[in-house]
Amino acid sequence: MRDAVRFMLGDELVRVSGISASLSVLDWLRGTARLTGTKEGCNEGDCGACTIVLVRPRHGRLDYRAVNACTLLVGMLDGAQVLTVEHLADGARLHMVQQAMVDAHGSQCGFCTPGFVMSLYARAKQPKSERVDAAEALAGNLCRCTGYAPIIRAAAMIDAHEAPDQWDRRSKETLARLEALHDGTTLCLGDGDTCFMAPASEDELAHLLVQHAGGKDAGRPTLVAGNTDVGLWINKKLMRLDPIFWLGGIDSLKQIAESNDHIEIGAGVTYSEAQAKLVGLFPETGALITRIGGVQVRNSGTVVGNIANGSPIGDMSPLLLAAGASLGLRRGEHRRKLALDEFFLSYGVQDRAPDEFITHVSVPRLKPGAVLKAWKISKRADQDISCVMMAVWLDYDGARINDIRLAFGGMAGVVCRARACEARLRGGPWTRQTLAAAQAQLREELQPISDMRASAGYRLDVACNLLERLYIETVERAPTRLPDASLA
Ligand SMILES: Cc1cc2nc3c(=O)[nH]c(=O)nc-3n(C[C@H](O)[C@H](O)[C@H](O)COP(=O)(O)OP(=O)(O)OC[C@H]3O[C@@H](n4cnc5c(N)ncnc54)[C@H](O)[C@@H]3O)c2cc1C
Ligand code: FES
Ligand code: FES
C-alpha cells in the first residue's frame, strides 16, 4: 500500500502525501505548486477556465485529454502526466497553439484564455482522423464577453501548420516513465483526518466496502469514478467526504467487453471512451452523447456514474432504459444482475446497498428491424442539463408497432418508462389516430414538476411533441429539423 500519489508534473516526477482526500487538483496547482496559469471560474465543471491536460498510456501510446481541474481530486492524478498552460512554451518560444491564438487574435482575458489554449492543445494532440471539430472541442470553455470566431480560426491554423512539440520529442521516454508508475499497488492517501483510497482490484474494493459497511453517514465511503457529480458536492455543498474510494485504479472496470448480442461497459469507462461503441450500436443517438457536458466532462465522467447517481435528469439512464440495459452489481463475493428498469426506486433511492457497487452496464445490441432514437431538449445546445429527454426503442414493421419502450428523463422524480403509453402503442397500427391517443395517455401518465429548467406544462408539451417527431420520422419519413440546424 502506498501513501503518496505519484504523477508527472510536466517533466518532473512528483509524490504528494499528507493531503485532504477532497483536495482538488485546481487548488493544489494554484496553492501548492504555484502554477497559477490554471484559473478558477465557476469551480463546478462548467466554464473550462481550469482546463488542464492529463496524459496517460493507452494502447501503447500517450493519450492526451482535456479535463477540468476543479472537479478532479489530487489522488485521481495517480500514474498520469499533468500538463498545464505553463508547460506549453519551449523556453522563450511560444507553443504553436499559443502562437496561433496570438496570430488569430484569439487571446482574450486572463481567465478564459488559458482554458481555451489547453482545450485546443488537447485537440491538437488527437490523431487527425479522431479530431473533433473546433466548436465541439471548445463547447466546455465559456466566454461571455467576446467571441469564439478568432479562436476557431486559431484551431484551423493549428490544423494547417502542425509540427511535433517538445512533449512529442520525449514521448517514448514519458510513456516508459508512466508505465513504470503503474505497479498495481493500492493508494491510500490522507491527512490523518480524511482518506482517499484507490484500490488496485475489484476484490479489494469489494472487501473495503464490506469492511466499512454500517458506518455512520459521516463515515460511509463515497465511491468516486469521474467525480463530475461528487466534485460539486465537495466544492458547492462543502460536504466532507471520508473515506473516498476511487475506481480509477482498477483496470478491469475500464474495459468494454463485446459479445454477439450485447456490450458491457465497465464502471470506470468514460463517455469519451464509450462514445464510439455506443454510436456504433445506436447510430441515431450520436448527437446525444456530444451534448452531455463539454469535452472535459466527457473525458472524466463515466456512463455508470450517470446511472449510479440516480438523477432524474441524467441523459444516459433514459437511453439505456429504452435500450433494455441491465446492471452488474457486486457486494462482497456476491454478484447479481439487475434490469435497469428495477434500479430506480424513488427520488434519490436506488436498489443498491451501501456496500455494493456497480461493476458494469450491459447494453443489448439492436435486433434487426429495431431502432433506438433519443432527443435531448435543453435551454442551451452545449453543456446544458436536459429539461426533457426522451429515448425510444421501436420495433415497427411499416404497418404495426410490434414492440416499443419509451423512457423519459425530467418527467418524474426518477427516470422512467411510460408503460401505459407503450401498452397503447404496442401491437397496433402506427397512425395519426394512435399518435393522438398515445399523446393523451402520456399527459395522464407523466407528472413532471415545474422548476428553474422548465414548467410542468412545457415538459408535457415537449414529451407529446417528441412522440409526434417519432411518428413523423418513422411513418411519414419527413425531416423534422431545418436543413442547416446544428442539432440533431
Ligand atoms: C459541467 C457539467 C455538465 C454536465 N452535463 C451533463 C449532461 O449534459 N447530462 C448528464 O446526464 N449529466 C451531466 N453532468 C453530470 C455528470 O457529468 C454525469 O452524471 C456523469 O456521468 C457522472 O459520472 P462520474 O463518473 O463523474 O460520477 P461521480 O461523480 O464519480 O459519481 C456519481 C455518483 O455515482 C456513484 N458511483 C459512481 N460509480 C459508481 C459505481 N460503480 N457503483 C456505485 N456507485 C457509483 C457515486 O458515489 C456518486 O453518487 C454534468 C456535470 C457537469 C459538472
Ligand atoms: S473553474 Fe469552471 S470548470 Fe473548473
Ligand atoms: S471570459 Fe475571458 S474574455 Fe470573456
38 and 128 co-located in one domain: no
Closest C-alpha residue for ligand 1 atom 9: 292
Can you tell me which atom of ligand 2 is nearest the CA of 39? 1
Global pTM?
0.96
CB of 206 within 6 A of ligand 1: the answer is no
Q: How many A from CA of 111 to the centre of ligand 2?
A: 10
Residues 433 and 416 in one domain: yes
Ligand nearest to the CA of 118: 2
Closest Cα to atom 3 of ligand 2? 45
Q: What is the mean pLDDT of residues 188-203?
A: 95
pLDDT average, residue stretch 152-180:
94
Average pLDDT estimate for 227-248 = 96
How far is ligand 1, taken at its centre, from the CA of residue 306, in Å?
4
Three cell numbers written together for 315: 441523459
| Bigger pLDDT: 425 vs 212 | 425
Task: Categorize the per-residue pLDDT at 381 as very low, low, confident or very high, splitting at 50, 70 and 90.
Answer: confident
CATH number at residue 185: 3.10.20.30
414 residue type, one letter = V
**pLDDT at 488 (0 to 100):** 45
- For residues 35 and 144, the model is more confident at 35
228 lines ligand 1 (CB under 6 A): yes
Question: What string of DSSP letters covers 52-96?
Answer: EEEEEEETTEEEEEEEEGGG-BGGGGTT-EEE-GGGTSBTTBPPH
Average pLDDT of span 172-181 = 97
Task: Decide which of 198, 215, 249 is a domain's last residue.
Answer: 249
Q: Is pLDDT of 156 > 80?
A: yes
Long-range pairs for 460-469: beta carbons < 8 A, 24 or more residues apart: 462/377, 462/387, 462/388, 463/388, 463/390, 463/408, 463/411, 464/439, 466/375, 466/377, 466/388, 466/390, 467/390, 467/406, 467/421, 467/435, 467/438, 467/439, 467/442, 468/435, 468/439, 469/375
**485: pLDDT strictly greater than 90:** no
**Same domain for 338 and 244:** no
In this structure, what CATH number is given to the domain that contains residue 106? 1.10.150.120
| 40, 51, 119, 146: residue to mutate for ligand 3 pocket, most atoms within 8 A of CB | 146
Round the average pLDDT of the chain to a whole number and report it.
Answer: 94
Please give the pLDDT value at position 483.
65
Packed helices 149-160 and 96-103: angle between N→C axes, nearest 10 degrees: 130
Q: Could you tell me if 42 and 150 lie in one domain?
A: no
Does any ligand 3 atom lie closer than 6 A to the CB of residue 112? yes
Pick the residue whose CA is nearest to atom 1 on ligand 3: 143
Q: How far is the CA of 116 from the centre of ligand 2 (A)?
A: 12
Determine contact, residues 200/181, Cβ cutoff 8 Å: no
What letter represents residue 327's amino acid? L
Domain contains 91: no
Which atom of ligand 3 sits closest to the CA of residue 144? 4
437 plus 408 within the same structural domain: yes
Spacing, Cα 61 to ligand 3 middle (Å): 35
CB of 358 within 6 A of ligand 1: the answer is yes
Do residues 347 and 434 both lie within one domain? yes
Residue 344 and residue 473 in one domain: yes
Q: Among 250, 252, 233, which residue's Cα sits nearest to residue 241?
A: 233
pLDDT of residue 216: 59
- Cell numbers representing residue 34 in the block: 504555484
Distance from residue 369's CA to the centre of ligand 3 (Å): 49
Residue 125, domain member (yes or no): yes
| Distances, alpha carbon 425 to alpha carbons 93, 184, 421, in Å | 65, 52, 6
Last residue of a domain, one of 222, 249, 276: 249
Residue 259 lies in a domain: yes
Q: What are phi and psi of 381, to 5 degrees?
A: -70, -45
Quick check: 221 pLDDT over 80?
yes
Nearest to 52 by CA among 87, 102, 14: 87
Ligand nearest to the CA of 415: 1
CB 116 within 8 A of CB 101: yes
Per the structure, the complete domain to which residue 464 belongs is given by: 255-488
What cell was used for 47?
Answer: 466554464
pLDDT value of residue 218: 56
User: Which range is least confidently modeled, 1-10, 12-21, 46-55, 479-488?
Assistant: 479-488
**Same domain? 326 vs 178:** no
What is the pLDDT averaged over residues 384-394? 95
Query: Does any domain span residue 286?
Result: yes
Q: What is the average per-residue pLDDT within 335-340?
A: 98
Degrees to nearest 5, angle at CA 119 with 223 and 178: 60
- The DSSP-derived string for 265-329 is EETT-BHHHHHHHHHHH-GGGHHHHTTSS-HHHHHH-BHHHHHHT--TT-SHHHHHHHHT-EEEE
Q: Give residue 128's pLDDT.
A: 84
Q: At 382, which CATH number?
A: 3.30.390.50
Beta bridge mates, 81: 8, 55
Q: Indicate left, alpha or beta for 316 from its phi (over 0: left) and psi (-120 to 50: alpha).
A: alpha
Q: Residues 273-328: pLDDT tens digits?
A: 999 999 999 998 878 999 999 999 999 999 999 999 999 999 999 999 999 999 99
Does 282 share its domain with 398? Answer: yes
φ, ψ (nearest 5 deg) of residue 259: -135, 180
Based on the domain organization, do 127 and 67 belong to the same domain? no
Triad 232, 233, 238: Cα angle to 5°? 110
Q: Evaluate whether residue 115 is within a structural domain.
A: yes
Q: SS3 of 190, please?
A: strand
pLDDT of residue 457: 96
Last residue of a domain, one of 164, 191, 212: 164
Within a 13 Å sphere around the CA of 279, how many CA atoms are in the beta-carbon half?
11
Number of domains in the chain: 3
E-strand stretches of 357-398: 357-364, 370-377, 388-396
CA of 283 to the centre of ligand 1 (A): 23
Residues 279, 406, single domain; the answer is yes
Assess contact for 51 and 68: CB atoms under 8 A.
Answer: yes
Ligand number nearest to the C-alpha of 239:
1
> Band of the pLDDT at 85, cuts 50, 70, 90?
very high
Q: Report the separation in Å between the CA atom of 224 and the middle of ligand 2, taken as the mean of its atom positions.
A: 19
Residues 77 and 102 in one domain: no
444-475: burial string, b at 16+ Cβ within 10 Å, e else: ebbebeeeebbeeeebbebbbbbbebbbebbb
Chain segment 132-146, per-residue pLDDT in tens: 999 999 999 999 888
Q: Where are the alpha helices (DSSP H) in 161-251?
A: 166-169, 171-181, 202-212, 230-235
Residue 415 in grid coordinates: 427516470
The atom of ligand 3 lying closest to the CA of 112 is 2
Residue 173: count other Cβ atoms within 10 Å of its Cβ: 10
Q: What is the mean pLDDT of residues 449-474?
A: 95
